Amino acid sequence: MRWAKRTTPLPSCAGVGRPNVRRTFAGVSAAASIAGMGLADVAYRVYERQLTKELSGGPLPCHVGVILDGNRRYAAERGLHTPADGHAAGAKRIDPFLDWCLDLGIPYVTLWLLSTDNLGRDDVEVSALMDIIEDTVRRMGCTQEAATRGLRVTAVGALDLLPESTRHALKQAEEATAHHDRLRVQVAVGYGGRQEITDALRSLLAERAARGMSLEELATTLVPEDIGDHLYTTGLPDPDLIIRTSGEVRLGGFLLWQSAHSEFYFCDAYWPDFRRVDFLRALRDYQRRTRRFGR
């Protein structure tokens, strides 16, 4: 299997080989009996370790994008009081996910927390969601634990559409983590792919007009890289892998420009239910693909 070269060193994992299935499950039963744990819990841990071994030595994505979908359905199906309860449950899943990325040495993550379309939802839900986002980014960037983890938080989106308190929380997290370099966490808030491309073109036209270039000159010299230089995500590599939870099989406007050569993985689990094994399965699926980048 051939893979494209990358500039970021790939992490390696210890462990090789596939265990004997009969012996594994005998060991699971014994472990469950000895430790007093449920068989399902022990089997889950064994399976998780096996998935980690399967990833050993293979290429991992440099940049993972995640569409955190299914929070509202999670709340509805579990009889929670409001959609905000589902969003709060989803926010709690972010910290473990980032720890998984840190453990595997994945250097870039983009989390789609709020789309421009989401801003049109009920005012009560949007207000609650903004509070949850503010708490989440402060937890990622403005705590002692965040400093220890080495996360660098940046925000992308039509930030001018957000409440002042949300913009302030995002700015605080960015400033507090500007010197960190272990894991770059890009939070997409008030983000829409079409809006991003529109804003990029607007910025490009303004820049070229300031330099005295006519529309005719721009039209004859324009190349994709010109637009790419004005996207929200300038300076970050394009995502290698994009994961969407909740069983929906579409991008919905997430990183439309940047995902031209991305691999996609769609998972049935709602985001609050997304487990480490779900992430490892996505990475295993990524490793099994041959990336040709259109060639």
Residues with catalytic roles: 69, 118
Secondary structure (3-state) at 63: strand
139/85 Cα distance (integer angstroms): 18
Q: Which residues pair with 183 in a beta bridge?
A: 151
Query: Minimal CA–CA distance to 157: which of 142, 174, 140?
Result: 174
Between CA 55 and CA 245 the distance in angstroms is 21
Rounded Cα distance, 84 and 107, in Å: 30
Helix (H, G, I), strand (E, B) or coil at 191: strand
Radius of gyration of the chain (CA): 21
CA distances from 142 to 62, 162, 247 (A): 25, 20, 33
Q: Under a CB-based contact definition with an 8 Å cutoff, are residues 207 and 229 in contact?
A: no
Please name every residue paired with 184 in a beta bridge, in sequence order, or none if there are none.
108, 152
Q: The sheet that has 63-67: what strands, in order across it?
A: 151-156, 183-191, 108-115, 63-67, 241-244, 263-266
